[in-house]
Amino acid sequence: MRADIVVLPGDGIGPEVTAAAVAVLREIARCFRHDFEFASHDIGGAAIDRHGDPLPAATVGACRRADAVLLGAVGGPKWSDPGAKVRPEQGLLALRRELGLYANLRPVRPHPATLGAAPIKPHLLAGVDLLVVRELTGGIYFGEKTRSVDAASDLCSYSTFEVERVVRRACMLARQRRGHLTSVDKANVLETSRLWREVATRLVRDEFPDITLEHQLVDSMAMHLLSRPRAYDVIVTENMFGDILTDEASMLAGSMGLLPSASLGDGDGGAAEGQPGDARAGDRSTVIGLYEPIHGSAPDIAGRGIANPVGAILSAALLLRHSLGLEAEALHVETAVAATLEAGIFSADLMPEGRAADTDEVADAVIERIAAASRVPE
């Protein structure tokens, strides 16, 4: 198949881990005879430096025309002055919103080989396989912000429509898994959470009677996620809770560098309720998606070639699966990553002592295993 993939390397370790993921995608294209075209565009701090804008119009346009988008990370100390007028993170938030990517899928499946790197007791981690579905285009991230000299506010709001579509997405995913959904909120305090809980309850009752729904308050969820992670299947929650809980969940796997994500919409280029979709995007046969590791630009290790590329590589696997419909190829990538970890080929974040593999060595090991697995015996 032919596919146009836009690459947004961004800042810090972003370019290092996206280069690794692109190398893996090129190997998949070679082994399976696909034609993947890659085009890099600016976002984040790199785009502020070059264009004075964290999300140049040319970048949005390229993403809209692409079959899928692969992103590294944005941000860093250079652009983090509290008084800064424009910030790298605004570029990423605007892109998610522009493309209508309201559902952010963050799977967490600790690999047996990396359990030793996790700060949690290994017996609690065996068999953990959960999927966080984080609402990505609403809530406090996108509400009105105000600032005066001695006060500030961030408005958190959700509509029924916004809650319904992401909970529906989570239910459909739960149906393909173990049929269990945990909806996380703070309904004992927040009005948005009370709406969230009401809508989730009604939607599951009316549309997904086969799904078992439980509600959990976000503070105790933060605890249960560590004390009984095996109890969870699909977890659905609002934007900020999902952001925080998934960084916490990365400690089940052993490192922030391991977790991938897929941000999906309805393939209509971001049309809101009742509005026509963007015509170019609406005609596409595949679903536009943005794929990125959950970690940030890791300024503390950037530029040294030692970042863990696994989160970015597994994001590329999600791209193959969700945007290109290439399930077998996605599985090849995931199997090759698992085999690499099994062989003890770890980056420094997973291996505080001893000789760790650098970013390229991990990527090369994954590529070798993809090549070996897809070689046709003579």
Q: Known catalytic residues?
A: 141, 186, 219, 243, 247
Q: Is 368 in the site for ligand IPM (CB under 6 A)?
A: no
Least Å from the CB of residue 246 to Mn ion: 7
How far apart are CB 28 and ligand NAD at their closest, in Å?
21
Q: Which amino acid is at 178?
A: R
Nearest to residue 253, comparing CAs of 133, 70, 129, 105? 129
Q: Is 75 in the site for ligand IPM (CB under 6 A)?
A: yes
Residue 300 counted as an annotated binding residue: yes
Of 63-71, 86-94, 122-130, 316-324, the window that binds ligand IPM (rule: CB under 6 A) is 86-94
Whether the CB-CB separation of 139 and 156 falls below 8 Å is answered with yes
Of these, 53, 89, 164, 368, which contacts ligand IPM (CB under 6 A)? 89
Report the residue number whose CB is nearest to ligand IPM: 89
**Does position 292 bind ligand NAD by CB under 6 A?**
yes
- CB-based burial of residue 371 (10 Å sphere; 0-12 exposed, 13-18 middle, 19+ buried)? middle
The 217-246 site mask, x for binding ligand IPM (CB under 6 A), equals --------------------------x---
Q: Choose, by CB under 6 A, the member of 46, 47, 92, 307 that binds ligand IPM.
A: 92
Task: For residue 268, state whether it binds Mn ion (rule: CB under 5 A).
Answer: no
Q: Check the annotation: does 88 bind a ligand.
A: yes
Helix (H) or strand (E) holding 214: strand 212-217
Q: Of 134 and 321, which CB lies nearer to ligand NAD in the complex structure?
A: 134
Contacts of 41 (CB under 8 A, 6+ apart): 6, 7, 8, 56, 58, 59, 62, 63
Residue tagged 């359990």 (tokens): 115
Q: Which two tokens stand for residue 101?
A: 């990517």
77 is in an annotated binding site: yes
Query: Any contact of residue 5 with ligand NAD (CB under 6 A)?
Result: no
Q: Is 185 annotated as a binding residue?
A: no
Query: What does R_g of the chain's alpha carbons equal in angstroms?
Result: 20
Rounded Cα gap, residues 363 and 24, in angstroms: 7
**Structure-token pair, residue 218:** 């976000």
Provide the CB-side half-sphere exposure for 160 (13 A, CA): 5
Tell me: is residue 118 an annotated ligand-binding position: no
Q: Is 168 labeled as ligand-binding?
A: no
To the question of whether residue 308 is assigned a binding role by annotation, the answer is yes
DSSP letters of 166-208? HHHHHHHHHHTTTSEEEEEE-TTT-HHHHHHHHHHHHHHHHH-
Question: From the list ligand IPM, ligand NAD, Mn ion, none, which binds 308 (C-beta under 5 to 8 Å, kind-based)?
Answer: ligand NAD
Q: Are 308 and 258 in contact (CB under 8 A)?
A: yes
CB 80 to ligand IPM: min, Å: 11
Q: How far is the CB of 263 from ligand NAD (least distance, A)?
A: 10
Identify which of 247, 241, 275, 281 has the alpha carbon closest to the alpha carbon of residue 261.
247
Known binding-site residues for NAD(+) equal: 76-89, 296-308
Q: Which residues bind ligand NAD (CB under 6 A)?
A: 13, 17, 73-76, 80, 89, 92, 256-257, 292, 295-301, 307-308, 311, 349
Residue numbers at the binding site for ligand IPM (CB under 6 A) = 75, 89, 92-93, 243, 294, 296
